Amino acid sequence: MSSFNEMDEILGDFIVETTELLESLDEDLVAMEKSSKDADLLNKIFRAFHTIKGSSSFLGFEKITELTHKLEDILNSLRRFDLELTPSIMDAILLSVDKLKTMVDMVKSNRSIDSVDVEQEIQKLISAKGVKVQDQELENGAGREEPLDANDIVKLQIEEIQEEEPVAKKTDLSDEELNAEIQRLLEQRIKEDRERRKAKKLLKEESKASAEPSNLAAIEKSETESMQKPVNITPSQDNAQKLYATAKPQDDRDKSKQDLDKQTIRVDVKKLDDLMDLAGELVLAKNRLVRLANIVSEQNENDDIADSLSNISSQITLVTTDLQMAIMKTRMVEIGKVFNKFPRVVRDICRDLNKEVNLVIEGAETELDKSIVEEINEPFVHLIRNAIDHGIELPQDRIQKGKNRIGTLKLTAAQEGNHIVISVGDDGKGMDKEKIKQKAIENGIITAQEASQMSESDIFNLVFLPGFSTVSQVSNLSGRGVGMDVVKTNIEKLNGIISIKSQIDVGTKIIIKIPLTLAIIQSLLVKVTGSLFAIPLANVIETVRIALSDIEYVQNKDVLRLRGSIVPLVYLGDILKISQDKKTLSKDELYVVIVSSAEKQLGLVVDALVNQEEVVIKPLGNYLGKVRSIAGATIMGDGSVALILDVVSIVKESSKLSTNIVSHIARNEDLSKNILVLSRSENLEKLHFIKENFNDHNVFFSDDVKILYLHPSSLIFLDLSMPNVIDLVNDIRELPTIKKSYIVGLSEDVKSDKVRYEDTSLNALMGLTSAENLESIKKIFERKTKTLKKGE
């Protein structure tokens, strides 16, 4: 059993090491294409392939060994400058690296790679190198390594040491000392080889025992195990000095690597998750302790025990915060893990589009939670593809504009508080606002009237809509309108925020802000109808206090004009479908939390702002499952439970609501006592006779439709000569508080208007300047009032 676990560990190390090497190769190979004479870079890439070849050969993965052997040949020719690097050679190398990635993924998922065909990649490498190999030679296994005897090993190790450290350094050692040192090094290499053979035999036995066909096939070749005696060689002093001088730095590097290995260990992510959960529980306990300490201090001023408790709670808070940050850092990985893949992406796209782009990466060392890093790769691939395809012009077009023929794509990352801000910027043609608006109008996404009222930010955000594209012709890279939608969806999952800045012929910059971690979050606590809710601070843009008169009404929606942008407003209680306390909202002031999900903003009207607090997200459990608009729950300092809001879901739900803020305030009014007269200003004076007939009611006169929201009424007199009166009647019928109101049309020509408005939802008609029909209308209204009071 222990042997099986030992081989599992060896295989796991192979997967981790090879994956890391292949990830770094993408970046190094693209760099090599630009600096094909960089000896250090060529040696680094050669060593990576050599390491993969050695490890795969040791484990019996012959397909990987065979392909990396050919890659070694190419790199060896390049680093000796026997071969000149061309785009076709690089294409062949990158194609082979992709195949290696595929095979390593198969090994990772316990699938056999024996059936994988690598001949196509090998032939491309051979063709790229300019060497023709007969099919017979391939069938006979040309290029495959045969088992090495002791002398072969000695020759190989001497050659490798000389290749890795070509510069010889003089030493003061005598011939005898040099020979002894060389003998020691060779014995060490032979011992390592013996251990490899022993481990290979162990793997073979384990494979047979577990009857795994993939492993049996990989290690079917029999090897003769023989004890090898130390090899005695006596090189000349020149050769000996050269070998020792080149071996010693390698030995120093090995020692340095061993020291580093002693300082680092690999930890299962599950263990880190468990640690984070425990840290979360500690945060909850800390919050309760702090609350208790505050209560005791308030009730027992100048008491020594109360003071001690307060000091201890402060110390626990400090230690808990430090511990939480330390555990979070163990889950952090550099964002370069994602960024380092992009030089290859840029290179491939540029080859397809015949464009020249210089990728600049800044802040690759910025750290981010591992779970988030794994999620951001796909959206950024789409952003980079769009920047090159839509943004950066062809070289000849850039020259005509007076730009450098080579475009620049800049990818930056930086930490700002508890967030990471990542931007993708290009110096291309920029985004045309008018073109975007026109396309959106043509597709029926917005109306011309809406387009005229949209801010620059709102127009740019249209590109995130599903199916939206300004490209007239679909290509392999773009035109389907799915790329930016994918970006939005993925960033929404991470509670992130997207914004776009662009200027024609200057360039475009897309900025994404995402939280450092999703486990323990900063939140804004708010109250709605007496209940406490937590809004993730990552989604909060700002909080504002507004007057009722600041609210505007557009297409049955309340909106707020905030620094040039139009932000939809919604009462949070409506989203959560909870009843409203009649005293929660007042006419004097409203509290609004401006939240954002990806590119969309929304104003949540709440009853009160409580405070900002660190909370731990707890799932609702299998019994409740997923609840709309709720991301989870947390335990507050007093032991009560507060629900954490899912801002992404809330923003989506808000678009379905037709209620308005004023209607909530109106619930405090007795609608049966309110009568509204809405007319053109020049007719208002003529209509005061209505008030005389309803002197026991609240009669409001206005020429502004906002009166409908400020004083909702059960009886509305409406001047039919007002503009867009039919639309106005339809709007009234959609407002929750007055949709059942009795609407009387005030007409200059009752007979004609009776025919004209018979299809509308008017309840009655009367003369604009006379009391005709007013008595009968009054009787109908009184009957209606009694009905309203009965709640029917």
Residues labelled as active-site residues: 50, 72, 386
Task: Give the count of alpha carbons within 13 A of 33, CB side only.
Answer: 21
The phi, psi pair for 403, rounded to 5°, reads -95, 165
Q: Which of 317, 184, 186, 161 has its CA nearest to residue 243? A: 161
The three state secondary structure string of 135-203 is: HHHHHCCCCCCCCCCHHHHHHHHHHHHHHHCCCCCCCCCCHHHHHHHHHHHHHHHHHHHHHHHHHHHHH
Please provide the size of the chain in residues: 792
- Backbone φ/ψ region at 347: left (φ over 0), alpha (ψ -120 to 50), beta: alpha
Q: Dihedrals φ, ψ of 463, to 5°?
A: -70, -15
Sequence-ordered strand ranges (E) for 417-503: 419-426, 497-503
What is d(CA 654, CA 277) in angstroms, rounded to the nearest whole number?
Answer: 33
Cα 58 to chain centroid distance, Å, stands at 39
Supply the DSSP string of 728-776, one letter for each residue. Answer: HHHHHHHSTTTTT-EEEEEESSHHHHHHHTTTS---EEEESSS-TTHHH
| Helix (DSSP H) and strand (DSSP E) numbers for the chain | 29, 23
Q: 559, 548 in Cβ contact below 8 A?
A: no
Torsions phi, psi for 666 (to 5 deg): -65, -20
Token digits of residue 718: 């409406």
d(C-alpha 330, C-alpha 270), whole Å: 12
Instruction: With beta carbons less than 8 A apart as the criterion, state whether 64 and 103 touch.
Output: yes
By C-alpha distance, which of 303, 371, 678, 677 is closest to 520? Answer: 371
SS (H, E, C) 234-293: CCCHHHHHHHHHHHHHHHHHHHHHHHHHHHCCCCCHHHHHHHHHHHHHHHHHHHHHHHHH
Residues 232, 347: Cα–Cα separation, whole Å: 51
Collapsing DSSP to helix, strand or coil, 527 comes out as strand
Cβ count near 597 (within 10 Å): 22
SS3 784: helix
Cβ contacts of 174-182, under 8 Å, gap ≥ 24: 175/237, 175/240, 178/237, 178/240, 178/241, 178/244, 179/234, 179/235, 179/240, 181/244, 181/247, 182/233, 182/235, 182/240, 182/243, 182/244, 182/247
Three-state SS for 44? helix
Q: Identify the helix (H) or strand (E) that includes residue 453.
A: helix 448-453
Structure-derived torsion over alpha carbons of residues 279, 282, 286, 287, reported in degrees to the nearest 10: 80
Query: What residues form DSSP beta bridges with 510?
Result: 424, 500
Nearest to 144 by CA among 80, 60, 45, 46: 60
What is the SS3 assignment for 445? Answer: coil
How far the first Cα of the chain sits from its last, in Å, is 77
List the structure tokens of 545: 């206090």
Cα(169)–Cα(166) distance, rounded to whole angstroms? Answer: 10
Give the Å distances, CA to CA, from 165 to 81, 235, 243. 17, 19, 9
Beta bridge partners of 611: 525
